[in-house]
């Protein structure tokens, strides 16, 4: 009987010691104590709004060192515009640390998204999109293929003085390119790189033989291309004006 009482006493003593520790670790007590009053942000970024970042983290910091939900804080930061990746941690006694990796835009994707340099799609809503980005489109699962064809076709067209400003892959797997001179190049589904290579090799000769601008090229033929030409746009006419300085 005495042994059982002593055992019960030991269990009760251990519970009284362990309970406060468990309570603190789970945020049961001290939720409004030991607030996190300092925000330390690391990472190189230009477009992430620092004020919005601070505002987003404020509710989590107020909960206190032991009660802060780091996973929820990280998810909230990751949803901010331009944030590609975020890590949130804490340092005793009052520091909330945030590491931010910013999206680096590589291209537009469809109507309302951007493609980062890391190959990730993110929404363009609420952000100022940089000018001069190429336009991509296609099934989301084919992002690597679209980027690969863009890089390869650009390397082919650059030596003849043309740039690729658009790459589209339709649901049937057919490719279409848009060049910076306004021409559309319909490549088709099969042997896309070989077709583009043949076309690029002949393009300087084709352009030299025409007094018109190339509007469309269809490469989906075994032994040739179907080309559509348009009259050259008239050059802008320079006008002279006289400047009169005076007062009335």
**pLDDT for the residue numbered 4:** 56
**pLDDT for the residue numbered 142:** 96
pLDDT per position as a tens digit, 151-175:
999 999 999 999 999 999 999 999 9
Arithmetic mean of pLDDT, 97-110 = 93
What structural domains and CATH numbers belong to the chain? 29-102 (3.10.20.310), 134-230 (3.40.50.11690)
Q: Contact at 8 Å (CB) between 43 and 53? A: no
> What is the Cα 132 distance to its own chain's centre?
15
**Number of other residues whose CB lies within 10 A of the CB of residue 133:** 15
Helices (H), 158-235: 192-208
Q: How many angstroms separate the CA atoms of 158 and 153, rounded? A: 9
pLDDT above 80: residue 18? no
Q: Which of 59-68, 130-139, 160-169 has the lowest mean pLDDT?
A: 59-68
**pLDDT for the residue numbered 6:** 57
**pLDDT for the residue numbered 23:** 36
**pLDDT for the residue numbered 3:** 56
**pLDDT for the residue numbered 37:** 84
pLDDT above 80: residue 232? no
Q: How many angstroms separate the CA atoms of 5 and 173, rounded? A: 78
Arithmetic mean of pLDDT, 69-98 = 91
Percent of the chain with pLDDT over 90: 54
**Of 184, 228, 230, residue with least CA distance to 211:** 230
Question: Does residue 139 or residue 4 have the better pLDDT?
Answer: 139
């Amino acid at each position: 009987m005495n042994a059982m009482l002593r055992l019960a006493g030991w269990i009760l003593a251990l519970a009284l010691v362990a309970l406060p520790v468990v309570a603190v670790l789970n945020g049961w007590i001290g939720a409004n104590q030991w607030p996190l009053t300092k925000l330390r942000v690391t990472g190189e970024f230009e477009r992430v709004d620092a004020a919005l970042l601070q505002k987003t983290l404020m509710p989590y910091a107020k909960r206190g060192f032991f009660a802060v939900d780091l996973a929820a804080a990280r998810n909230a930061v990751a949803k901010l515009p331009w944030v590609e990746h975020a890590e949130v941690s804490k340092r005793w006694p009052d520091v909330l640390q945030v590491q931010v990796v910013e999206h680096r835009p590589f291209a537009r994707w469809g109507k309302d998204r951007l493609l980062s340099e890391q190959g990730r799609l993110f929404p363009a809503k609420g952000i100022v999109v940089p000018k001069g980005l190429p336009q991509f489109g296609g099934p989301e699962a084919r992002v690597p293929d679209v980027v690969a064809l863009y890089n390869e076709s650009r390397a082919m067209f650059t030596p003849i003085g043309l740039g690729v400003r658009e790459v589209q892959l339709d649901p049937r797997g057919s490719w279409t390119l848009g060049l910076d001179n306004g021409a559309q190049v319909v490549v088709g589904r099969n042997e896309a790189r070989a077709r583009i290579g043949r076309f690029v090799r002949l393009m300087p000769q084709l352009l030299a033989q025409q007094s018109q601008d190339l509007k469309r090229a269809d490469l989906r033929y075994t032994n040739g291309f179907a080309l559509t030409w348009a009259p050259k746009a008239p050059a802008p006419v320079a006008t002279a004006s006289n400047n009169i300085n005076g007062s009335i």
